[in-house]
Structure 1
Amino acid sequence: MEVRAATDEDAAGIRRVAEASLDETYAGDLGDDVVGAAVDEWYASDRLEQRLAADDVLFVVVEDDGAVVAFSESELDVRQPDDDDARPQEPADEPGVAAIQWLHVHPRYRDRGLGGRLLERTESELMEAGANRVEGRVLAANQAGNEFYQANGYARTGQRTLDVGGTSYTEHLYVKLPSGSAADLTEEFEVEDGTVFVAYDERERGSDAPFYAAYRSEDRTDRYGFYCANCGSLDTTMDAMGRVECNDCGNHRKPTRWDAAYL
């Protein structure tokens, strides 16, 4: 079997694997209708073509006898500020982050070690592209997925609640740093009414830059809100639908991977 970067010709195989994997993993918890709508939305021909061509999206596939049997889909958010840009950004030793959106192995090819090989190649490609940490996210109900990240050196850093098809689900957040990294993933900020702790390992994608979760306590038990990496502001709002926006610069949260299932 060959592990390689995806090409445009892999689109049909990627959709086939995604459909089989999502159905096997999530249909029991989310329902066939939600899974079917998700596949149709995320892996429609036009969208998949755009994703394969995007500079900030990485697809890696596993090929067996000419057929795609597994793939990963990741997004890079590597921001290098201009020399004259004085706005607060991510810490100096945190110039970029990559998020694995999906890692799918066709059900017939599971339990053969393909997931580990695919993850290793994905991490290597992401680090070469400029990321210095890799995030993974998986629904709490997906026990095998959670065990997979933990077995491959990912630390669980938190969780969040998602609304999928009108039902709330818990998603676990994971992060992995390069070997030997000593990056501090929490930073203190002083605000008018005290101290806020920003967690750089709990990230939401923004239209201009990421949002990071902010807490009142270092142990992350008392949520404060979000920190906008675009302008360094903690003046952000989130509505009942989970839409986050910076009140200073207008940076706003992009849809998560699950949002497309019910847009």
Structure 2
Amino acid sequence: MEIRDPEPDEAERIQEVVDSSMTTSFRLSPGQIDAITDEQLSDEAVADKIDDDETVLLVAETGEDIEGEAIAGFVEGRLSDDGEWGEINWLFVDPEHRGHGIGTALYEAAADALRDRGVDHVCVTVLEANTEGHQFVEQFGLEHEADRRVEIAEESFVKYVYSDPDADLDLPTDETEEDAEAEEFPETERSDGQLTATTDGGETVYVARDEEESGTAAPFYAAYEDADFSEQFGFYCANCGSLDISLDNMDRLECGDCGNSHASRSGESYDDSYL
């Protein structure tokens, strides 16, 4: 395996690696994956990033090609505006090549490249939808220190920011974790550490963040009448904050306020395997 700088004409293969990795490992729709790939890693975007002195791009090339494709992984990093931090913001490994240490090699090479450019600390950002990516980052001793809301392809996503817990610097993020949560869960509050919403009649319900159903605009979450999550009230729409959610006999959810909808089993084609 060789870690090297990419060439502009390799953008198409990088896009293939990113697309297959996200399809396998991210809780995102095909449309969201295509939009992210098209915006972040188009032919023009890759060429611009290669020429950008503030950006680190590296690919992993294997000696055993699969269908003639040697590039098996990709990583992108950048320098913070103040030059104090380096940030690794994308890391992907082709599912056919996983389990051979490629992700680790890419992470270490990108971190070294950022330090060679003068930074003392490196953080990593991981999309919230990438569950296994969080576990991968944590094996390097990094901890979830903050959240950042980012706009990609005209859609809002949350990235978790991981860093060395001993680093005594302000993280390169524009939002606090509370700010990101407020945007991700509109019309909610915190009550004794739990996320709550209020019905039109003034009743408090409890939102279960780990009971998520996909939606066309944003996820739905189960809502309960009690803090122990024993009596379900219904569902909460993360797109607009409404609790006016209908459920038909086909298990299809629809928000009465914004039209956000969920078709039963729409997310079952994705799994969480990663590196």
TM range (shorter): 0.5 to 0.7
Q: TM-score, normalized by length of structure 1?
A: 0.59
Contact 2:14 2:71 in 1 (8 A): yes
Query: Aligned residue for 1:73?
Result: 76
Separation of aligned partners in 2, 1:111 and 1:157:
27
Compared CA separation, residues 165 and 37, structure 1 to 2 (3 A): closer
Separation of aligned partners in 1, 2:2 and 2:53:
23
SS of residue in 2 equivalent to 1:126:
helix
Contact 2:57 2:77 in 1 (8 A): yes
- Structure 2 residues without counterparts, runs of 5 or longer: 64-68, 185-275
Contact 1:13 1:69 in 2 (8 A): no
Query: Aligned residue for 1:43?
Result: 41
Contact 2:39 2:152 in 1 (8 A): no
Separation of aligned partners in 2, 1:166 and 1:40:
12
Separation of aligned partners in 2, 1:168 and 1:40:
16
Query: Aligned residue for 2:145?
Result: 157
Matches within 5 A, 1:163-174: 170-174=158-162
Report the aligned-residue RMSD. Answer: 3.0
Compared CA separation, residues 68 and 148, structure 1 to 2 (3 A): same
Query: Aligned residue for 1:52?
Result: 50
Establish whether residue 105 from structure 1 lines up as the match of residue 93 from structure 2.
yes
Larger radius of gyration, structure 1 or 2? Answer: 2
- Structure 1 residues without counterparts, runs of 5 or longer: 80-94, 186-199, 205-210, 215-219, 226-238, 241-263
Q: Which moved more, 1:153-162 or 1:106-115?
A: 153-162
Matches within 5 A, 1:1-263: 1-26=1-26, 29-65=27-63, 67-77=70-80, 79=82, 95-161=83-149, 170-176=158-164, 183-185=167-169, 200-201=170-171, 203-204=172-173, 211=174, 213=175
Q: Deviations over 1:192-230 (max 9, x none)?
A: xxxxxxxx02x23xxxxxx5x57xxxxx87x7x9xxxxx
SS of residue in 2 equivalent to 1:55:
coil
Q: TM-score, normalized by length of structure 2?
A: 0.56
Q: Which moved more, 1:148-157 or 1:58-67?
A: 58-67
Contact 1:78 1:130 in 2 (8 A): no
Q: Identity over aligned residues, as a percent?
A: 25
Q: Deviations over 1:134-192 (max 9, x none)?
A: 11111333221001110012121122455778876543210138xxxx6523xxxxxxx
Separation of aligned partners in 2, 1:126 and 1:13:
24
Separation of aligned partners in 2, 1:54 and 1:167:
25
Q: Deviations over 1:109-141 (max 9, x none)?
A: 112211111111111111001111111111333
Deviation at 1:69, TM superposition (A): 0.6
